[in-house]
Amino acid sequence: MTLHRGFTLWFTGLSGAGKTTLASRVATELRARGLRVEILDGDEVRTNLSKGLGFSKEDRDTNIRRIGYVCRLLSRNGVVAISAAISPYRDVRREVREAIERDGADFIEIYVKCPLEVLAQRDVKGLYKKALAGEIPNFTGVSDPYEEPLAPEVLVETDRESVETSAARIIAELERRGLVPTATAELESEQEALVDC
On whether 16 is known to bind a ligand per the annotation, the reply is: yes
On whether 20 is known to bind a ligand per the annotation, the reply is: yes
Classify residue 150 by its DSSP letter: S
87 belongs to the catalytic site: yes
The catalytic position among 75, 83, 87, 166 is: 87
On whether 50 is known to bind a ligand per the annotation, the reply is: no
On whether 141 is known to bind a ligand per the annotation, the reply is: no
Between the CA of residue 197 and those of 83, 88, 157, what are the distances in Å?
A: 39, 51, 45
On whether 104 is known to bind a ligand per the annotation, the reply is: no
Give the angle 67-29-176 at the CA atoms, nearest 5°.
Answer: 85
Gap between the Cα atoms of 11 and 163, Å rounded: 14
Percentages helix, strand, coil for the chain, rounded to the nearest 5? 50, 15, 35
Gap between the Cα atoms of 23 and 19, Å rounded: 6
**Strand residue runs (E) in 68-175:** 80-84, 106-113, 154-157
Choose among 17, 8, 13, 21: nearest CA to 167.
Answer: 21
On whether 28 is known to bind a ligand per the annotation, the reply is: no
On whether 18 is known to bind a ligand per the annotation, the reply is: yes
Residues with a catalytic annotation lie at 87
Binding-site members for ATP are: 13-20
Known binding site: residues? 13-20
